[in-house]
Chains A and B, each alone.
Chain A
Amino acid sequence: MEFPVNLRYTKEHEWARQEGNRVVVGITDYAQKELGDVVFVELPDLGTTIEAMGTFGVVESVKAVSDLYAPVSGTIVEANTILEDQPELVNASPYGQGWMVVIEAANPEEFQQLLTAAEYQAYVVQEKSSR
């Protein structure tokens, strides 16, 4: 399972990558493995404003529906609409072609409060062992 060190993470299993004032968001390798085959992704319209840890969309596997949570507050400026036709990219490339949205961050300091790769990895290990 991959936990790239250049990314930050949420406890809801999203990853975030800072590019200037923009934050690219997707779900983690652990999340896609837990979900299994992703068959549907619903993303917000461009221009939608979101709060940190508010829901911005939905990802569905064959069996389950999961909300997507925004790592930071801001405005949706890009959405990976390719996922509407190829949701399987979330499984194949969770940190690459499976990216979901880009948020124009309202409070850049929120990014610094997200989990580091080491913190997230420890969280996942704990979550797995507690069930």
Chain B
Amino acid sequence: MTAGTEGKRTPLYDVHCQLGARMIQFGGWEMPVSYTGIIEEHQRVRTHAGLFDVSHMGEIEITGPGAEAAVQYLTLNDVHALHVYQLQYSALCNAAGGLLDDLTVCRLAPERFLLIVNAANIDKDFDWITQHLGPGARAENLSDTKALLALQGPDAEAILQRFCPVPLGALLYYHALVTRLDGHEALVSRTGYTGEDGFEVLLDAAHAVALWQAIMAAGQAYGLLPVGLGARDTLRLEARYLLYGQDMDETTNPFEVGLGWITKLDKGEFIGRDALTRLKAAGVPRRMVGFIMQERGIPRAHYQVIQDGQIIGEVTSGTMSPTLNQAIGTSLVRSASVKNGSIIAIDIRHKAVPAQVVPSPFVPRRVKR
């Protein structure tokens, strides 16, 4: 909250202010951090449902006969077998194998792809993509004309079904459909960043306020609450989803942060492939681990991680888990001997506080498979 700085605003800015949200700067945007309280909002998503404005996220469309080849060349994952209206988690790397961004790819048509990217990286990604597009492909930055809402939680399907004309029960995880919601065309995908079942709805910015109000009205009987970025962060950390700029950046490669599963080295040529092939063969010295604090203290980003008196890394994300009521965190550690069950220590204000390494995620994901 720096005095005098104003960020970009989503189409829902006035709605957030009317709801009494606490606003913060995030990735160059003025976003709601919470409305009624982070813990209440977090628990509501786990037990019922929450509605998030994530319109700060970017949308870049790649079209043309060379679109598939362009996306194959730009991203780590393999889009060749991706069906129309199927989505895929992926990432952009530079030639050295450093992560430029993580993103979601949706094939909208055989020769049309939508990339959903992080808010702080929109301009960087769009520049990178336009510089590396091959022949027959065109990229367009739709970020300013689109709004994105996320409806998450066990009651999300029931709420959205109240005014969605097509049955949502058949929509599979990481699949999408186009329908009319509240009279306007929307792309509805079964995706999210909370570890719960739920949907993300992409629509024209002009209709965002009306759809937000319609979802809130439909959700009233289910206890639906608006949820800010504060709970979005605690929810994603409990579910062990990575946050770009915090858990990874251009100095980290996909293997060390656990993204080897999206890195398809055998799919053909793509940016970073040679470097990543070498890194994989050499073996990466760092590894992302999750841990639960064993004594009082909350790990925070950049706190040092200690094993046998040696600094083995830094905390990348940490918080008090509202679901577990225990302090949790993740760290990129340089140590081969850190395994599930290992005891490490976090330097919290010059005190080594013990923590135990645990398998991920902290709270089981309940997405619809």
Chain A interface (Cβ within 8 Å of chain B)?
A: 36-37, 39-40, 42, 58, 60-63, 65, 84, 130-131
Contacts and interface: CB of A to CB of B under 8 A. Distances in A.
B230 interface: yes
B29 to A, nearest CB: 16
Contacts of A60: 298, 320
Given A39-B320, A131-B2, A63 B297 contact: no
B352 to A, nearest CB: 15
Given A62-B234, A131-B2, A36 B296 contact: no
Contacts of B307: none
A63 B317 CA distance: 11
Contact of B38 (A37, A42, A58, A65): A37
B39 A62 contact: yes
A131 B349 contact: no
A63 B34 CA distance: 11
Given A39-B39, A39-B298, A63-B33, 19 more contacts: A36-B22, A36-B33, A36-B34, A36-B37, A36-B38, A37-B38, A40-B297, A40-B298, A60-B298, A60-B320, A62-B230, A62-B319, A63-B230, A63-B319, A65-B298, A84-B296, A131-B2, A131-B3, A131-B4
B257 to A, nearest CB: 22
Contact of B1 (A58, A61, A65, A131): A131
A65 B300 contact: yes
A36 B298 contact: no
Contacts of B296: 40, 42, 84
Nearest to A61: B38
Contact of B230 (A36, A40, A131): A36
Interface string B321-354: 0100001000000000000000000000100000
Contacts of B320: 39-40, 60, 62
A55 to B, nearest CB: 10
B297 A37 contact: no
Contacts of B1: 131
Contacts of B38: 36-37, 61-63
Contacts of A42: 296-297, 349
Contacts of B34: 36
Interface residues of B, number: 22
A40 B349 CA distance: 14
Nearest to B320: A39
Contacts of A61: 38
Contacts of B22: 36
B298 A37 contact: no
Contacts of A40: 296-298, 320, 327
A25 to B, nearest CB: 19
* Interface-centre pick from A39, A84, A130 (highest chain B CB count, 10 A): A39
Interface in B132-151: none
5 interchain residue pairs of minimum CB distance: A39-B320, A62-B38, A131-B3, A37-B39, A40-B298
Contacts of A58: 349
Nearest to B233: A63
Contacts of A63: 33, 38, 230, 233, 319
Contact of A130 (B3, B297, B322, B349): B3
A84 B295 CA distance: 12
Interface in B280-329: 296-298, 300, 319-320, 322, 327
Contacts of B300: 65
A61 B38 CA distance: 9
Nearest to A64: B300
Interface in B1-49: 1-4, 22, 33-34, 37-39
Contacts of A62: 38-39, 230, 234, 319-320, 322
B37 A37 contact: yes
11 contacts: A37-B38, A39-B298, A40-B296, A40-B320, A42-B296, A58-B349, A62-B230, A63-B38, A63-B230, A63-B319, A131-B4
B21 to A, nearest CB: 12
A76 B33 CA distance: 35
A62 B296 CA distance: 14
A131 B319 CA distance: 26
Contacts of B4: 131
Contacts of A65: 298, 300
A3 B34 CA distance: 24
Contacts of A36: 22, 33-34, 37-38, 230
Contacts of B33: 36, 63
A42 B38 CA distance: 21
